[in-house]
């Protein structure tokens, strides 16, 4: 079984079973060398917040990457301060001004995601390639609009699902492709953190419904996208539930269950027959702002399981349990693999380092984007536009049926 489009860590050509596309090897066993061989690309940074800081810092780990401009929505002093901190030659007090900068080849969009469609449209219509932070939009219809617009303009557009570019995930997807744990039958993933440790309540954008706050819009795309790359079909059923905060109106915790059907032509098992190779399965995903979870992902197959250790959205360690042939339940050979992050340079340390865990791994994403742009490709094989749209479709379903319209329990603070 071939999973959906990935970048294998070895010289392997695989096929995206959902789209039928083939793709080449985009990774390297020596991942620092991979960053050093990145084609040149001139970036504009749209936004000056924490994620924009971390993405800009990660670009400093790629010698060929150049940040030529940055912009704040309505604050030239804010943009000037960001530019001074990071050594960026030009700063602008509006997004439109930066999009008009002829030197900018691609724009990284890291502002509040309420404005994804508006800003994405502006960037693309200015003739710039675009990397939009998660979520790519606030609905499936907006995601379809942006991806279709990029295609019509022959411009690169990708959602910033940086998890897909980590060497640990490259390794996992090659294991699945090679059937190292047999046929995948189940996927489990969690992403919870206690937001009051980092964010003021209720003043943070995370809790503001006017800014599209809530756990689904900030967290759900990670476990959903993780499940999509483990099965050969799209899910055909979504079951979900959630908790709405009574004071703010945003969802603070949710669960999503996805059913993946067997691929077309797969034979159904008769009574007493083995189920190996049917190809269908279940994904159970949960996320929230209310507590601390291990943030692990477990992929279960007919011949073993893979554990992506926390933080699973930016992982560096994977454990593989392969069932011993002929053994009873529980006997397995266990292999661990660790993937060190890119080395942090003195330049990054001097300019304040990173806000978020493992943010130097954003460099893997930036390098992959630069390679695709240099090759004339309009999306990355690691995370396609089709997958971004599918994730938004599932979040739409959650928001409609799981988080607000079906009389869910509303917690009071």
Helix axes 385-401, 140-153, angle to 10 degrees: 160
Confidence of residue 337 (pLDDT cuts 50, 70, 90): very high
Residue where the block lists tokens 């959906």: 4
Task: With CA atoms as reference, report the closest residue to 297 among 134, 257, 306, 289.
Answer: 306
**pLDDT for residue 21 is more than 50:** no
**pLDDT for residue 408 is more than 80:** no
Same structural domain, 142 and 44? yes
**pLDDT for residue 148 is more than 50:** yes
Distance of CA 22 to the CA centre of its chain: 21
Task: Residue 114: give its domain's CATH number.
Answer: 3.40.50.720
The dihedral region occupied by 158, where left means phi > 0, alpha psi between -120 and 50, and beta the remainder, is beta
Same structural domain, 104 and 198? no
Same structural domain, 212 and 157? no
Question: 78-82, 207-211, 252-256, 262-266 — which is least confidently predicted?
Answer: 262-266
Strands 297-301 and 281-288: unpaired
Q: 321: which 2 tokens?
A: 């349990």
Mean pLDDT of the chain: 87
d(CA 42, CA 66): 5
Confidence of residue 31 (pLDDT cuts 50, 70, 90): low
Same structural domain, 197 and 310? yes
Total tally of structural domains belonging to the chain? 2
Q: 351: which 2 tokens?
A: 């300019």
Q: pLDDT tens, 161-174?
A: 999 999 999 999 99
What pLDDT was estimated at residue 413? 26
Same structural domain, 123 and 200? no
User: In sequence order, which residues have a C-beta less than 8 Å from that of residue 412 and are 6 or more positions away?
Assistant: 246, 247
d(CA 196, CA 292): 11
174 found inside a domain? yes
d(CA 233, CA 66): 39
285 found inside a domain? yes
Confidence of residue 402 (pLDDT cuts 50, 70, 90): low
Same structural domain, 366 and 398? no
Confidence of residue 15 (pLDDT cuts 50, 70, 90): very low
State whether residue 129 is helix, strand or coil: strand
Same structural domain, 35 and 88? yes
Q: 67: which 2 tokens?
A: 């940040």
Q: pLDDT tens, 316-330?
A: 999 999 999 877 777
49 found inside a domain? yes
Question: 192-206, 225-239, 367-381, 398-412 — which is least confidently predicted?
Answer: 398-412
Percentage above 70 pLDDT, the chain: 86
302 found inside a domain? yes
176 found inside a domain? yes
3 found inside a domain? no
**pLDDT for residue 412 is more than 80:** no
Percentage above 90 pLDDT, the chain: 79
What pLDDT was estimated at residue 406? 37
**pLDDT for residue 272 is more than 70:** no
Same structural domain, 93 and 120? yes
**pLDDT for residue 8 is more than 70:** no
Task: Residue 271: give its domain's CATH number.
Answer: 3.30.360.10
**pLDDT for residue 6 is more than 90:** no
What pLDDT was estimated at residue 276? 52
Q: pLDDT tens, 344-393?
A: 999 999 999 999 999 999 999 999 999 999 999 999 999 999 999 999 99
388 found inside a domain? no
What pLDDT was estimated at residue 403? 57
Same structural domain, 196 and 89? no
Same structural domain, 89 and 170? no
Strands 237-245 and 184-192: unpaired
**pLDDT for residue 28 is more than 60:** no
Domain limits for position 228: 164-343+394-411
What pLDDT was estimated at residue 116? 95
Question: Torsion over CA of 284, 287, 291 and 292, rounded to 10 degrees?
Answer: 70
Same structural domain, 147 and 36? yes
Same structural domain, 130 and 206? no
Confidence of residue 89 (pLDDT cuts 50, 70, 90): very high
User: In sequence order, which residues have a C-beta less than 8 Å from that of residue 178 and are 6 or more positions away?
Assistant: none
22 found inside a domain? no
Distance of CA 315 to the CA centre of its chain: 12
């Amino acid at each position: 079984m071939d999973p959906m489009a990935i970048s294998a860590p070895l010289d392997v050509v695989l096929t995206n079973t959902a789209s039928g596309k083939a793709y080449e090897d985009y990774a390297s066993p020596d991942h620092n060398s991979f960053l050093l061989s990145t084609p040149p690309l001139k970036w504009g940074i749209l936004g000056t917040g924490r994620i924009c800081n971390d993405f800009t810092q990660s670009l400093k780990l790629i010698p060929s990457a150049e940040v030529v401009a940055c912009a704040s929505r309505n604050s030239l002093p804010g943009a000037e301060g960001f530019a001074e901190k990071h050594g960026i030659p030009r700063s602008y007090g509006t997004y439109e001004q930066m999009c008009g900068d002829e030197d900018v080849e691609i724009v990284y969009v890291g502002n509040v995601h309420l404005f994804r469609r508006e800003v994405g449209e502006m960037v693309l219509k200015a003739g710039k390639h675009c990397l939009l932070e998660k979520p790519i939009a606030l609905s499936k219809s907006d995601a379809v609009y942006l991806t279709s617009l990029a295609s019509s303009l022959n411009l690169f557009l990708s959602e910033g699902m940086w998890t897909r570019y980590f060497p640990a995930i490259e390794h996992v997807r090659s294991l699945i492709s090679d059937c190292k744990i047999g046929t995948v039958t189940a996927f489990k993933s969690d992403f919870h953190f206690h937001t009051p440790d980092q964010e003021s309540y209720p003043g943070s954008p995370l809790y503001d419904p006017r800014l599209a706050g809530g756990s689904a819009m900030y967290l759900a795309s990670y476990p959903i996208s993780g499940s999509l790359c483990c099965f050969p079909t799209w899910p055909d059923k979504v079951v979900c539930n959630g908790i709405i905060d009574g004071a703010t109106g945003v969802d603070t915790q949710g669960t999503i269950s996805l059913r993946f059907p067997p691929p077309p032509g797969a034979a159904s098992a008769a009574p007493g027959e083995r189920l190996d190779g049917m190809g269908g399965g279940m994904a159970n995903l949960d996320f929230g702002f209310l507590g601390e979870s291990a943030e692990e992902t477990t992929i279960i197959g007919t011949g073993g399981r893979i554990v992506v250790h926390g933080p699973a959205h930016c992982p560096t360690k994977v454990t593989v349990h392969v069932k011993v042939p002929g053994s009873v339940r529980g006997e397995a050979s266990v292999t661990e693999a660790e993937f060190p992050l890119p080395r942090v340079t003195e330049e990054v340390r001097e300019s304040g380092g990173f806000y978020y865990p493992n943010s130097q791994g954003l460099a893997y994403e930036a390098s992959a984007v630069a390679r695709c742009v240099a090759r004339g490709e309009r999306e990355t094989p690691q995370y396609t536009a089709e997958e971004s749209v599918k994730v938004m479709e599932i979040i739409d379903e959650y928001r409609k049926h799981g988080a607000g319209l079906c009389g869910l329990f509303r917690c009071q603070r």
